[in-house]
Amino acid sequence: MTTALPPTEPQPEALTTDLDELSAWLRLTHAKGLRPAALRALLSAFGGPKHVLAESFASLAEVTNTDAATAALAPPAEVEGVPFGNYIERVLEWAAEPGNHILTFADTAYPQALLTMPDPPALLYAKGRTDLLQARAVAIVGSRNATPQGLEDARRFARALSDAGLAVASGLALGIDGAAHRGALDGATGTIAVIGTGADLVYPSLHHQLAHEIARDGVIVSEWPLGTPARSANFPQRNRLIAGLVQGVLIVEAAMRSGSLITARLANEMGRDVFAMPGSIHAPLSQGCHRIIKQGAKLVETPEDVLEEFGFPATRRKKRGKAPAPANASWASARLPGKPETDEAARVLAALGHAPATLENLAARTDLDGAALQSALLQLELSGLIAALPGGRVTALERS
């Protein structure tokens, strides 16, 4: 389910305001069949969108190809089911709301990092602090079905990187993405959410509150037209934009067929650094990380491993008046992790180690009967030392 995003506080910015110019940008950006790389070539050759539209078919085809020239000169089509004239009105209404921005190649607020990509989008919809789009940034991405330990690690790393002066980018998805955004919001610099829907919508709807906080204290960015719903085909392109905005990508947890690995591959192709967090050889969500480490990604164990690559001192800067939020309120304990209260609980924790295990595994390792094992597991969970996983498994929690 997709929900609407509320307005945010105003951010002073000199952005595209000329109606004819904006219309030309929108027409070309959302022209069906006109790829971003082809549009960039046309703009480079002729100077601006109105100049492109004033050129002949032959001139446009000479710079790109006949398909791109046909797409560029085609009459304006509907945008997400809205007639083009009405869509322009919708964009103007959206841009008039506090905190909303339309960024094009012609705007100084357009992210400079994207210009190093082969196919940057000519127009972006941004909501929130556009200054973050010029900051040095690292993406933290990973599984939507993350483990409690993965969520805690993503939050902890994001806060440390944010405190050190790096913006943290991610995709607003459930799991690792959401934990990374929350950790970065707790830090000093902030976060960038690159989304695969229109900038006026929130997906998933469970992140409506998080999106509101990012729009207020960070920035939300989309290249998709307003009103674009969540479509699976859009998310790989969203991942390309994440990779383009940052100087490095950290994969926290990823299965072998994870979309996060697409982000890592795209980042590597763009010359960005790729980092990965290792895990147990028995954990499915470590397999993707291990794969890219074998392919040359840098293994990291602490936030300092990432910071050293960028020459940042690992010092913490206090953020004004905001207490850290838990990465996942459904499992995070309000108390700090304690110590096992009984010998049985200590035996179970030692038997669990660093890899998730089933109850059958723990029973065999500890020789505890069912009642004693369940009692020990309950003590450990209440102490914040373990958490339950899908499939009847449990995992130890390591927190800093």
At 346-361, the pLDDT tens digits run 888 888 877 778 888 8
CATH of the domain at 265: 3.40.50.450
pLDDT at 385: 85
Query: By the 8 A CB rule, do 228 and 197 touch?
Result: yes
Same domain, 13 and 79: yes
Structure tokens at 259: 């979309």
Same domain, 171 and 28: no
User: What are the CA-CA distances from residue 69 to residues 81, 307, 352 (Å)?
Assistant: 23, 45, 62
Same domain, 275 and 380: no
102, β-bridge pairs: 125
Same domain, 91 and 145: no
Same domain, 135 and 271: yes
User: Which residue would you say has higher pLDDT here, 332 or 297?
Assistant: 297
Q: What is the average pLDDT across 11-28?
A: 74
In a domain, 65, yes or no: yes
In a domain, 330, yes or no: no
pLDDT digits (tens, 9 = 90+) for 176-225: 999 999 999 999 999 999 999 999 999 999 999 999 999 999 999 999 99
| Rounded Cα distance, 304 and 320, in Å | 23
Same domain, 143 and 205: yes
In a domain, 319, yes or no: no
Which pLDDT band holds residue 318 (cuts at 50, 70, 90)? very low
Q: What are the CB-based long-range contacts (under 8 Å, 24+) for 276-279?
A: 276/250, 276/251, 276/300, 277/153, 277/250, 277/251, 277/252, 277/253, 277/301, 279/253
DSSP tally for the chain: helices H, then strands E: 16, 14
Q: What is the average pLDDT across 34-48?
A: 95
User: Which residue would you say has higher pLDDT here, 365 or 92?
Assistant: 92
Where would I find the beta strands (DSSP E) of 85-218? 100-104, 123-128, 137-141, 167-170, 191-194, 201-202
**Residue 276: enclosing H or E segment and its boundaries?**
strand 273-276
List, edge to edge, every strand of the sheet that includes 393-396. 357-358, 393-396, 386-389
**Are β-strands 219-222 and 123-128 bridged in parallel, bridged antiparallel, or unpaired?**
antiparallel
Where would I find the beta strands (DSSP E) of 142-253? 167-170, 191-194, 201-202, 219-222, 248-251
Residue numbers of the domain that contains 181: 130-309
pLDDT at 326: 38
Q: What angle do CA 157, 163, 169 make, to 5 degrees?
A: 60
In a domain, 134, yes or no: yes
pLDDT at 230: 95
| Rounded Cα distance, 279 and 300, in Å | 11
Give how many domains the chain has, as a whole number.
3
pTM of the model: 0.81
Question: What 3-state class would DSSP assign to 223?
Answer: coil
